[in-house]
Amino acid sequence: MSGVRFTSDNRSIKIGKRVRTGSFPVRKFPVPVLWLTLLAAAFSGCGQLKYDMDYPSAARVSSFNVTVGQESGTAVPFAADLCVVSTKGVDSDTVDMTKAEAAVLFDIKDKEVLYSKNAHKQMYPASLTKVMTALVALKNGSLDQTMTATDSVKITESGAQLCGIKTGDTMTLDQALHILLMYSANDAANLIAENIGGSVDHFVEMMNEEAKRIGATNTNFANAHGLTDENHYTTPYDLYLIFNEALKYETFSEIIQMSSYQTTYYDANGREKPFTCTTTNRFVKGDIQPPANITVIGGKTGTTAAAGHCLMLLSRDAQGSPYISVILCAESNDDVYVQMADLLDEINK
């Protein structure tokens, strides 16, 4: 047992950093009884340890999960290396968020919450869903693997963004991820889901398992693309957790910074199908300028009638420190960018 030590004369016992001295008739106890006694002492702390928590375990706040510290009397939070925001929110007199339902801004380096509004409200994420789709694909697939489209790519919802993939078409995961994240193609999402998960339904199960693994416990996915479903929801804070995890993959980070992409995939008969797209992110395209001293690295957009206009970004300040920001359910495309610029300006204050 790590952290438990006996001296040669059996007159001192060390548990963790504590040393007990005196007469200990260790040899008189059967081995199982001895271990049970020591385990009870270690976990009870003999009534001396105090465990502090920011909010109760029943709170509807993602990432609430603690483990007992082995060398301390304070519980170590699951989100020790993450930004954590309570349900109270963090307001600012200088941020106008009246035209959006929810927003968060996190200082990643210093683990500081700079702004939050409805951070834990369950909402429709629209195509911000595709960040989780990419994360699960990168974790479980190979960039050079060839994927073949089935009828699952036939999406008939009015207004759904499509790149035109047909049954029998083939492309690599790398190509599909570029089209997914830059052009936000819903047919590319289903192509990825079926080929990585074996079926779209199983891939969605993998998405939900990954969400729970990283602490996004107020999230439930019903599809891989983000088109509206009453059982498909997340929170601004959970999206931060998902985005933060996806950024650990170099391919993901590279793609979200690209302004345009050109490739060629193949139809069922092997004929070439050229495809060109530009990013849907107006900051990355240069159509919208961020505040002074702020550089937008990249991110993901999302829009549906139910979700409104959504935007999630990775940005850096003049010193290169990273920030993640999320806005959900803005009233218009212009509003989401104007309010995001206003939110990013908080970094300068």
pLDDT digits (tens, 9 = 90+) for 19-70: 444 444 444 444 444 444 444 444 444 444 443 444 444 456 665 443 333 3
**Does some domain include residue 54?**
no
pLDDT at residue 44 in the model: 42
Q: What pTM did the predictor assign?
A: 0.78
Q: In what order do the strands lie in the sheet with 260-266?
A: 146-148, 170-172, 260-266, 272-278
Q: Please check whether residue 223 is in contact with residue 234, taking contact to mean a CB–CB distance below 8 angstroms.
A: no
Same domain, 11 and 156: no
**Does some domain include residue 48?**
no
pLDDT digits (tens, 9 = 90+) for 293-327: 999 999 999 999 999 999 999 999 999 999 999 99
pLDDT at residue 259 in the model: 98
Same domain, 151 and 280: yes
pLDDT at residue 95 in the model: 87
Select the more confidently predicted residue: 64 or 253: 253
Portion of the chain with pLDDT greater than 70, in percent = 74
**Does some domain include residue 123?**
yes
State how far the Cα of 323 lies from the Cα of 103, in Å rounded to an integer: 13
Same domain, 150 and 299: yes
Q: How confident is the model at residue 94 (pLDDT cuts 50, 70, 90)?
A: confident
Query: Does residue 260 register a pLDDT over 80?
Result: yes
Query: Which CATH number does the domain housing residue 242 bear?
Result: 3.40.710.10
Same domain, 142 and 291: yes
State how far the Cα of 120 lies from the Cα of 149, in Å rounded to an integer: 36
Which of these ranges, 56-65, 102-111, 160-169, 230-239, has the smallest mean pLDDT? 56-65
**Does some domain include residue 67?**
no
Task: Show the domain range for 249.
Answer: 100-348
Q: How confident is the model at residue 178 (pLDDT cuts 50, 70, 90)?
A: very high
Backbone angles phi, psi at 45, to 5 degrees: 65, 15
